[in-house]
């Protein structure tokens, strides 16, 4: 019996080996923000592995030593407890929690701002608007906009200001940073720095309907010089975005990459709430099944005023 | 409104069509079978109108097993769809519906009924009572749960399943982005079932506080009773929050209000908060009774008193209190700010401390004991290391900054399956094997039980362990497919294979139930495990009135004390009195039907018919109010005959 | 198990009665959580006017004061009714119970009129999040009061049919608990929803 339990525990080991094949992006950070999280995770794995060792060890020993055999058929012990032991196995886990809390809180606070080594630089601000089923990147300082891909300069802090044109989504570039939700009428921040030029994948992790699985975007980190060159090229050659075209883009479709030489912030900032009805298209979301009724856009109640949240 | 036939009844999909045919045939088979064997009167008298807690418990368990099948098939479909890159077995929309129903069914229509069912069967017996405080309310709780479950299950055939995840986040779940009626099913079916559960909460708190046998002080209650008491207190606090959340969702979807919408100033974050304020206590509602069951099984099969009784109680109280102050950890990434995230990281990590205390107490119960490897005990043994993995990954997730990389990935999915399955499902299986003889008068086959155990345990680990690594590789949850370039394929395939082993384990359980029902020996002891608590001092199956004379309790592990000191085991027939029993009632079943009809009409947004039919609910309440039925009495000669039969002539 | 304890008030005398009353107190605990959640929703959404009407524009102090007066007085008369019940005075109990219901019905009447007035002003629950949460919170309370009135009528019929027995006394006591609870909820409503916003 006991051997069987051992076997199933050991079966987990080959899984570890198998999985080593593909590199785990969380353990391969490409920027200081992701690195601070990876360091925290590694520390937690050490402490949690210790806990597992103790529990598994005690478990294996006790189940083996105290199993029922023909020899101990009459054995009927009584034992109630030990206050001393209770204190030990309350205090030690508590200490482990403290050992985890301190670096956790430090990292939480550190992530709210530009990483330490880059604090002397001004961050490049990029507004991210998540929509169904695409990502829209607006570069307010540069005055350009891209859809489904974003270029950033490597080695320069980037401040992503996140919001959503509709459903709640989550902006995640695992190689560079943790994720943050995007919500209509609110603006969240995410600081990202890419150590080196390269291509990194980003995706949405917050399920938002039929097209969710395809909500990936590419982050390309270029050298600062290449980045500036690219911005100039876009401003010169890319088409203009009109409000009508933007309204089309917001509809629930899958689009490829697009580039524009102005931003939609000229007429709407979804992070500030406002005239949301103009962009809502409930009828376009119908799938199979009995159609429920949708509600008339209430024109009166939408004076474009900002609501307190 | 122009209604198209194919909008109401989902057609054109071979899977769904075969399911529809399957359901129709099964229902026909049941109706024909019951008629042929002339069992309608029996069903009505003994089961549909019963107010007996033991039968109600068994009905809950039947629902749970059936729902386990449906939720499991959902899981298998998900695993098959993700077994290789770019599979087209389920398109995105269908996949969304499948994982939504999988989550709702497993938590609300499998785990809850299974646990509440076992609580129903065992708790009054463990405290030496004849029934719960409010037997008719108890029956209503079951029938409302059943009504909600049936309404929810109909959705994939008529109207369309909900498809916004079991968490139903807004604004996705609102009419602005999901205009079909699928999510109406979610809002209304869960509401109906939730009312039933709230009533269970009230019922069991009063029962445990007020109906214990003489001499059973709070500190002499069995651990399963303690965990059930605390669980039901949490239910009373948490379920009204769900009631409100679902009601606001219903108003948004049916009447166009702006609680969670984008337009009109709604706030989707409010839903997240309300849902998880209920949702987190909910997972502790399912885990605490499971802990209680493990305590009973481990003590019995180590032939030793549960170690650290006082600490165990302090731990579950601590867990219950902490469970109400951790909800934000479900959305650390929603931008709550460093103070909030830090505070909730700390409270969430703290829950590991009392939970760890319990693990050590279980280990030390076994230490210096004499461990018997019955199937029930195997489940409890496997629980310890596998739940520990779930628990430590939970501590890792609790650290908010780290969670920014784990959130909504398969790492999270693996964590919660590693706590829910070893925690809740293994406990339910242990409870089945342990209490089956008491419920039905025969035991589940031990050899088949061991096959069930090994297949399920191995299958579970092979399915979910790879998902930790997939999450760390960047695989997100709720995604219907993945690309070949991502490199996720090998682990997804491994996980899919594991799910087949898991399914085989479940199939063995079903076969075991069939096989044992048909062939098992009915002449077994009423105390087959030489157990420690009062429920074993009864006939198997338990006589309708539970105890001819309510026992007097002298110590913790009351029945063990009675056996060791040879006290209170013999029935003194001269002390017998007529036993008062509550009458059966058709009202709970009637309410189930009415709520089902009203719910159905509301789902399809037919408000006038729904309003008219809801008068039926008030009619039911009025009838109940005017019900002055005093029950009936069981006569002395019947009691004597029943008692002599199971005790043997003494 | 029918332990009848004659030393207790009539509604507590049987075992089942004591269970029912404890059960109802716990139910009221659940109701506290329910209303607290509705208040929390109102608290998050109360400033989201979406360009629609604000409380300063809508609320009329006169109506709210009348509603408050009616409901609070009805709670007092309910107390009088139980006082008569304790003295085994069925006639007194019935009289004051009916007065309580009349006051409660008056409350509901004024509140329904208040809502109709708002709707005519263009303030419906579909107008804005503030109004959605306002109507659902107040409406839930009003619905509870209305159901309470219906329930009390059933109890009155049973009192007239069976007289004052341990069972009917318990039922009366329980509904009085319910009625007082709704009164307490109203105090929170008129403080945090109306009074706090009247200034605008």
The CATH code belonging to domain A2-68+80-110 is 1.10.287.90
Which among C37, C132, C150 has CB closest to B241?
Answer: C37
Q: Do B472 and A52 touch (CB under 8 A)?
A: no
Q: Do A304 and C127 touch (CB under 8 A)?
A: no
Give the confidence band of B650 by pLDDT, cuts at 50, 70, 90: very low
Residue B26: inside a domain: no
Q: Which two tokens stand for residue B345?
A: 């990281």
Share of chain B above pLDDT 70, in %: 98
Q: Which domain holds residue B153?
A: 39-647
- Tell me how far apart the alpha carbons of residues B307 and B295 are, in angstroms, rounded to a whole number: 9
pLDDT at A308: 37
pLDDT tens by residue, B373-399:
999 999 999 999 999 999 999 999 999
**Could you write out the DSSP letters of every residue in B397-452?**
HHSHHHHHHHTTBHHHHHHHHHHHIIIIIHHHHHHHHHHHHHHHSSPPPHHHHHHH
pLDDT at A276: 67
pLDDT tens by residue, B587-639:
999 999 999 999 999 999 999 999 999 999 999 999 999 999 989 999 999 99
Give chain A's length.
309
Which one of C45, C52, C55 makes the best mutation probe of the A interface by having the most chain A beta carbons within 10 Å? C52
Closest residue by Cα to residue C98 from C160, C10, C144 = C160
Report whether C100 contacts C152 (CB < 8 A): yes
Out of B100, B138, B457, B584, the active site residue is: B138
Q: What is the dihedral of CA B325, B331, B333, B335, to 10 degrees?
A: -70
Using a CB-CB distance cutoff of 8 angstroms, which residues of chain A are in contact with residue B303? 75-77
Which one of A167, A177, A183, A189 makes the best mutation probe of the B interface by having the most chain B beta carbons within 10 Å? A167
Q: Which two tokens stand for residue C21?
A: 């009353």
pLDDT at A1: 47
Using a CB-CB distance cutoff of 8 angstroms, which residues of chain C are in contact with residue A307? 47-50, 129
Q: Please give the backbone phi and psi of residue B9, each rounded to the nearest 5 degrees, phi first.
A: -100, 120
Q: Which two tokens stand for residue B118?
A: 């076992």
- Spell out the residues 6+ positions from residue B621 whose beta carbon is closer than 8 angstroms to its own: none
Q: Do C125 and B628 touch (CB under 8 A)?
A: no
pLDDT tens by residue, A141-152:
999 999 999 999
- Tell me how far apart the alpha carbons of residues C96 and B518 are, in angstroms, rounded to a whole number: 64
Is B483 an annotated catalytic residue?
Answer: no
Q: Is C163 exposed, middle or buried (0-12, 13-18, 19+ CB in 10 A)?
A: exposed
- Spell out the residues 6+ positions from residue A170 whose beta carbon is closer than 8 angstroms to its own: A179, A180, A181, A182, A204, A205, A206, B333, B407, B408
Out of B142, B170, B284, B332, the active site residue is: B284
Is B35 an annotated catalytic residue?
Answer: no
Strands A134-139 and B632-634: unpaired
Looking at the structure of chain B, the number of domains it has is: 1
- Tell me how far apart the alpha carbons of residues B540 and B513 are, in angstroms, rounded to a whole number: 17
Q: How far apart are the first and last CA of chain C?
A: 60
- Tell me how far apart the alpha carbons of residues B14 and C161 are, in angstroms, rounded to a whole number: 61
Task: Chain A: list its partners (3+ Cβ pairs within 8 Å).
Answer: B, C
Q: Do B236 and C167 touch (CB under 8 A)?
A: no
pLDDT at C197: 79
- Tell me how far apart the alpha carbons of residues A72 and B644 are, in angstroms, rounded to a whole number: 35
Helix (H, G, I), strand (E, B) or coil at B538: coil
Is B311 an annotated catalytic residue?
Answer: yes
Of B422 and A285, more confident: B422
- Tell me how far apart the alpha carbons of residues A153 and B611 are, in angstroms, rounded to a whole number: 62
Helix (H, G, I), strand (E, B) or coil at B12: coil
Out of B79, B358, B407, B563, the active site residue is: B358
- Spell out the residues 6+ positions from residue B266 whose beta carbon is closer than 8 angstroms to its own: B170, B171, B252, B258, B259, B260, C45, C48, C129, C132
- Tell me how far apart the alpha carbons of residues B116 and B198 are, in angstroms, rounded to a whole number: 12
Out of B101, B203, B355, B512, the active site residue is: B355
Domain ranges of chain A: 2-68+80-110, 123-277
List strand residue ranges (DSSP E) for B124-206, in order.
none
pLDDT at A70: 77
Is B120 an annotated catalytic residue?
Answer: yes
Q: Do C126 and A304 touch (CB under 8 A)?
A: no
Using a CB-CB distance cutoff of 8 angstroms, which residues of chain C are in contact with residue A303? 50-51
Of C1 and B556, more confident: B556
pLDDT at B159: 87
Task: Chain B: list its partners (3+ Cβ pairs within 8 Å).
Answer: A, C
Q: Which two tokens stand for residue C19?
A: 């269970």
Closest residue by Cα to residue B624 from B597, B648, B594 = B594
Task: Share the mean pLDDT of chain B.
Answer: 94
Is B138 an annotated catalytic residue?
Answer: yes
pLDDT tens by residue, B490-546:
999 999 999 999 999 999 999 999 999 999 999 999 999 999 999 999 999 999 999
Which among B179, B472, B479 has CB closest to A212?
Answer: B479
E strand or H helix at B154, and its extent? helix B135-154
SS3 content of chain B, % helix, strand, coil (to 5): 70, 0, 30
Pick out chain C residues at pLDDT < 50.
1, 200
* Residue in this structure with the two tokens 């009691």, named with its chain if needed: B639
Give the confidence band of B7 by pLDDT, cuts at 50, 70, 90: low
Mean pLDDT value across residues B257-272:
93
pLDDT at C51: 86
pLDDT at B482: 95
Q: Is the pLDDT of residue A13 over 70?
A: no
Is B445 an annotated catalytic residue?
Answer: no
Lowest mean pLDDT across A190-194, A298-302, B641-645: A298-302
- Tell me how far apart the alpha carbons of residues B411 and B486 are, in angstroms, rounded to a whole number: 16
Q: Do C51 and A298 touch (CB under 8 A)?
A: no
Which among A295, A303, A308 has CB closest to C48?
Answer: A308
Q: Which two tokens stand for residue B410?
A: 């398969």
Taking every pair of C-alpha atoms in chain C, what is the biggest distance, in angstroms? 63
pLDDT tens by residue, C78-127:
999 999 999 999 999 999 999 999 999 999 999 999 999 999 999 999 99
Q: Do C19 and B622 touch (CB under 8 A)?
A: no
Is B627 an annotated catalytic residue?
Answer: no
Using a CB-CB distance cutoff of 8 angstroms, which residues of chain C are in contact with residue B134? 19-20, 23
pLDDT tens by residue, A38-58:
999 999 999 999 999 999 999
Report whether C59 contacts C197 (CB < 8 A): yes
Q: Partners of A291 in the beta sheet?
A: B180
Is B70 an annotated catalytic residue?
Answer: yes
Please calculate the CA angle A37-A43-A49 and round it to the nearest 5 degrees.
130
Using a CB-CB distance cutoff of 8 angstroms, which residues of chain A are in contact with residue B7? 288-291
Residue B71: inside a domain: yes
Q: Which two tokens stand for residue B232?
A: 């039901």
> SS3 sequence, B108-129?
HHHHHHHHHHHHHHHHHHHCCC
Q: Do A294 and B175 touch (CB under 8 A)?
A: yes
Q: Do B349 and A298 touch (CB under 8 A)?
A: no
Closest residue by Cα to residue B197 from B248, B148, B247 = B148
- Tell me how far apart the alpha carbons of residues B403 and B405 are, in angstroms, rounded to a whole number: 5
pLDDT at C47: 92
Report whether B409 contacts B476 (CB < 8 A): yes
- Tell me how far apart the alpha carbons of residues A217 and A129 are, in angstroms, rounded to a whole number: 12
Q: Is C187 on the interface with B (CB under 8 A)?
A: no
Please calculate the CA angle B60-B64-B70 and round it to the nearest 5 degrees.
145
Which one of C50, C54, C131, C133 makes the best mutation probe of the A interface by having the most chain A beta carbons within 10 Å? C50
Of A1 and A37, more confident: A37
Q: Please give the backbone phi and psi of residue A189, each rounded to the nearest 5 degrees, phi first.
A: -115, 145
Residue B29: inside a domain: no
Q: Is the pLDDT of residue A307 over 70?
A: no
Is B50 an annotated catalytic residue?
Answer: no
The CATH code belonging to domain A123-277 is 2.60.40.420
Report whether B599 contacts B151 (CB < 8 A): yes
Out of B82, B96, B100, B145, the active site residue is: B145
Buried b (16+ CB within 10 A) or exposed e, B573-592: eeeeeebebbebbebbbbbb
Q: Is the pLDDT of residue A304 over 50?
A: no
Q: Do A12 and B395 touch (CB under 8 A)?
A: no
Residue B92: inside a domain: yes
Q: Do A295 and C126 touch (CB under 8 A)?
A: yes
CATH of the domain at B213: 1.20.210.10
Q: Partners of A182 in the beta sheet?
A: A169
Helix (H, G, I), strand (E, B) or coil at B520: coil
Give the confidence band of A300 by pLDDT, cuts at 50, 70, 90: very low
Q: Do B263 and A188 touch (CB under 8 A)?
A: no
Q: Partners of A147 in the beta sheet?
A: A136, A258
Is B533 an annotated catalytic residue?
Answer: no
Report whether B547 contacts B130 (CB < 8 A): yes
Mean pLDDT value across residues B424-438:
97
- Spell out the residues 6+ positions from residue A20 whose beta carbon is closer than 8 angstroms to its own: none
Q: Do A302 and C47 touch (CB under 8 A)?
A: no
Which among A295, A301, A308 has CB closest to C128?
Answer: A301
Interface predicted TM-score (ipTM) of this complex, two decimals: 0.95
What is the distance in angstroms between the Cα of B612 and the nearest Cα belonging to chain C?
A: 16
Per-window interface: C 128-167 vs A, CB < 8 A = 128-129
- Tell me how far apart the alpha carbons of residues B116 and B113 are, in angstroms, rounded to a whole number: 5
Q: Is C52 on the interface with A (CB under 8 A)?
A: yes
- Tell me how far apart the alpha carbons of residues B586 and B143 are, in angstroms, rounded to a whole number: 11
Residue A151, preceding bond cis, omega within 30 degrees? no
Identify the CATH homologous superfamily for domain C62-198. Cytochrome c oxidase, subunit III, four-helix bundle (1.20.120.80)
Q: Is the pLDDT of residue A19 over 70?
A: no
Q: Which two tokens stand for residue B527?
A: 């105390």
**Tally of CA atoms within 13 A in the half-sphere of B296 that contains its CB:** 37
Report whether A184 contacts B171 (CB < 8 A): yes
Using a CB-CB distance cutoff of 8 angstroms, which residues of chain B are in contact with residue A77? 303-304, 368-370
B450 conformational bin, left if phi > 0, alpha if psi -120 to 50, beta if neither: alpha
pTM score of the predicted model: 0.94
Q: Could you tell me how far CA B125 lies from the centroid of its own chain? A: 20
Strands A180-182 and A169-172: antiparallel
Q: Do C48 and A309 touch (CB under 8 A)?
A: yes
B303 conformational bin, left if phi > 0, alpha if psi -120 to 50, beta if neither: left
Give the confidence band of A21 by pLDDT, cuts at 50, 70, 90: very low
């Amino acid at each position: 019996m006991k051997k069987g339990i051992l076997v199933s525990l050991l079966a987990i080991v080959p899984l570890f080996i198998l999985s080593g094949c593909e590199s785990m992006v969380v353990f391969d950070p490409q920027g200081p923000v992701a690195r601070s999280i990876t360091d925290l995770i590694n520390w937690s794995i050490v402490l949690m592995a210790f806990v597992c060792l103790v529990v598994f060890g005690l478990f294996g020993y006790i189940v083996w030593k105290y199993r029922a055999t023909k020899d101990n058929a009459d054995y009927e012990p009584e034992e109630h407890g030990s206050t001393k032991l209770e204190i030990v196995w309350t205090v030690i886990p508590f200490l482990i929690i403290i050992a985890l809390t301190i670096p956790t809180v430090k990292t939480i606070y550190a992530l709210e701002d530009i990483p330490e080594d880059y604090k002397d630089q001004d961050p490049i601000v990029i507004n991210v608007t998540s929509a169904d089923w695409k990502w829209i990147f607006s570069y307010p300082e540069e005055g350009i906009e891209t859809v489904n891909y974003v270029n950033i300069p490597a080695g320069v802090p980037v401040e992503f200001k996140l919001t959503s044109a509709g459903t709640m989504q989550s902006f995640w570039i695992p190689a560079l940073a943790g994720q943050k939700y995007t919500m209509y009428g609110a603006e969240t921040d995410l600081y990202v720095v890419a150590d080196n030029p390269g291509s990194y994948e980003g995706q949405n992790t917050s399920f938002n309907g039929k097209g969710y699985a395809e909500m990936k975007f590419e982050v390309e980190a270029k050298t600062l010089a290449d980045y500036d060159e690219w911005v100039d090229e876009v401003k010169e050659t890319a088409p203009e975005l009109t409000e009508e075209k933007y309204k089309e883009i917001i509809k629930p479709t899958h689009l490829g990459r697009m580039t524009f030489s102005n931003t939609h912030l000229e007429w709407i900032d979804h992070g500030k709430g406002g005239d949301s009805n103009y962009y809502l298209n409930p009828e376009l979301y119908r799938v199979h099944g009995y159609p429920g009724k949708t509600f008339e856009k209430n024109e009166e109640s939408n004076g474009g005023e900002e609501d307190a949240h | 409104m122009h209604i198209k036939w194919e909008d109401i009844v989902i057609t054109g999909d071979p899977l769904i069509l075969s399911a529809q045919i399957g359901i129709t045939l099964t229902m026909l088979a049941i109706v024909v079978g019951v008629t042929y064997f002339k069992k309608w009167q029996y069903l009505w008298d003994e089961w549909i109108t019963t107010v007996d807690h033991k039968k109600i418990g068994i009905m809950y368990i039947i629902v749970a097993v059936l729902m386990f099948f449906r939720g499991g098939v959902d899981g298998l479909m998900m695993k098959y769809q993700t077994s290789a890159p770019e599979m087209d077995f389920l398109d995105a929309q269908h996949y969304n519906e499948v994982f939504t129903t999988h989550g709702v069914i497993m938590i609300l229509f499998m785990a809850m009924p299974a646990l509440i069912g076992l609580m129903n069967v065992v708790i009054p017996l463990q405290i030496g009572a004849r029934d719960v405080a409010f037997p008719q309310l108890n029956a209503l709780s079951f029938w409302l749960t059943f009504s909600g479950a049936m309404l929810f299950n109909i959705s994939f055939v008529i109207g369309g399943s909900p498809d916004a995840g079991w968490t139903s986040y807004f604004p996705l779940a609102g009419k602005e982005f999901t205009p079909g009626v699928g999510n109406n099913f979610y809002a209304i079916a869960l509401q109906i079932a939730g009312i039933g559960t709230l009533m269970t909460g009230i019922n069991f708190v009063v029962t445990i506080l007020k109906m214990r046998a003489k001499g059973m002080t709070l500190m002499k209650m069995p651990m399963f009773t303690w965990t059930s008491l605390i669980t039901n207190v949490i239910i009373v606090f948490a379920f009204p929050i769900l009631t409100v959340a679902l009601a606001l969702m219903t108003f948004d979807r049916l009447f166009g209000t702006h609680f969670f919408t984008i337009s009109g100033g709604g706030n989707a974050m409010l839903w997240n908060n309300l849902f998880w304020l209920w949702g987190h206590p909910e997972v502790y509602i399912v885990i605490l009774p499971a802990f209680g069951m493990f305590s009973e099984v481990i003590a019995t099969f180590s032939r030793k008193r549960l170690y650290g009784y006082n600490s165990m109680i302090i731990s579950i109280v601590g867990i219950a209190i902490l469970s109400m102050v951790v909800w934000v950890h479900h959305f650390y990434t929603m931008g709550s700010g460093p103070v909030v995230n830090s505070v909730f990281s700390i409270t969430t990590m703290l829950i590991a401390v009392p939970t760890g205390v319990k693990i050590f107490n279980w280990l030390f119960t076994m230490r210096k004991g004499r461990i018997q490897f019955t199937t029930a005990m195997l489940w409890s043994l496997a629980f310890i290391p596998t739940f520990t993995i779930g628990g430590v990954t939970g501590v890792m997730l609790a650290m908010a900054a780290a969670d920014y990389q784990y959130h909504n990935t398969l790492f999270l999915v693996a964590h919660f399956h590693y706590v829910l399955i070893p925690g809740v499902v293994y406990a339910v299986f242990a409870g089945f094997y342990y209490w089956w003889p008491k419920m039905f008068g025969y035991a589940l086959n031990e050899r088949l039980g061991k096959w069930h155990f090994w297949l399920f345990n191995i299958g579970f680990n092979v399915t979910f362990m790879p998902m930790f690594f997939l999450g760390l590789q960047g695989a997100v949850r709720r995604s219907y497919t993945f690309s070949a370039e991502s490199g996720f394929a090998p682990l997804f395939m491994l996980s899919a294979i594991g799910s087949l082993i898991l399914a085989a384990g479940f199939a063995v359980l079903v076969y075991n139930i069939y096989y044992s029902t048909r062939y098992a020996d009915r002449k077994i002891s009423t105390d087959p495990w030489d157990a420690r608590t009062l429920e074993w001092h009864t006939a198997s199956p338990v006589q309708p009135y539970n105890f001819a004379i309510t026992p007097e309790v002298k110590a913790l592990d009351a029945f063990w004390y009675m056996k060791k000191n040879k006290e209170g085991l013999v029935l003194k027939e001269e002390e017998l009195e007529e036993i008062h029993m509550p009458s059966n009632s058709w009202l709970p079943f009637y309410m189930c039907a009415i709520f089902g009809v009203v719910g159905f009409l509301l789902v399809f947004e037919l408000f006038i018919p729904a309003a008219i039919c809801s008068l039926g609910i008030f009619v039911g309440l009025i009838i109940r109010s005017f019900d002055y039925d005093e029950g009936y009495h069981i006569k002395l000669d019947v009691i004597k005959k029943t008692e002599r039969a199971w005790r043997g002539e003494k | 198990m029918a332990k009848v304890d004659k030393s207790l008030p009539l509604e507590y005398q049987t075992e089942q009665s004591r269970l029912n009353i404890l059960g109802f107190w716990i139910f009221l605990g659940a109701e506290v959580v329910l209303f607290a959640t509705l208040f929390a929703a109102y608290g998050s959404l109360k400033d989201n006017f979406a360009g629609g009407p604000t409380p300063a524009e809508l609320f009329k102090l006169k109506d709210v004061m009348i509603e408050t007066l009616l409901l609070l007085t009805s709670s007092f008369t309910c107390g009088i009714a139980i006082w008569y019940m304790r003295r085994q005075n069925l006639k007194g109990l019935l009289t004051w119970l009916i007065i309580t219901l009349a006051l409660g019905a008056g409350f509901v009447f004024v509140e329904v009129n208040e809502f109709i007035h708002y709707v005519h002003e263009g303030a419906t629950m579909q107008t804005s999040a503030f109004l959605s949460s306002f109507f659902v919170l107040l409406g839930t309370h009003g619905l509870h009061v209305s159901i309470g009135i219906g329930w009390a009528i059933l109890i009155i019929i049973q009192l007239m049919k069976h007289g004052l027995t341990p069972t009917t006394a318990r039922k009366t006591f329980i509904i009085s608990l319910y009625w007082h609870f709704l009164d307490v909820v109203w105090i929170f409503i008129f403080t945090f929803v109306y009074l706090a916003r009247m200034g605008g």
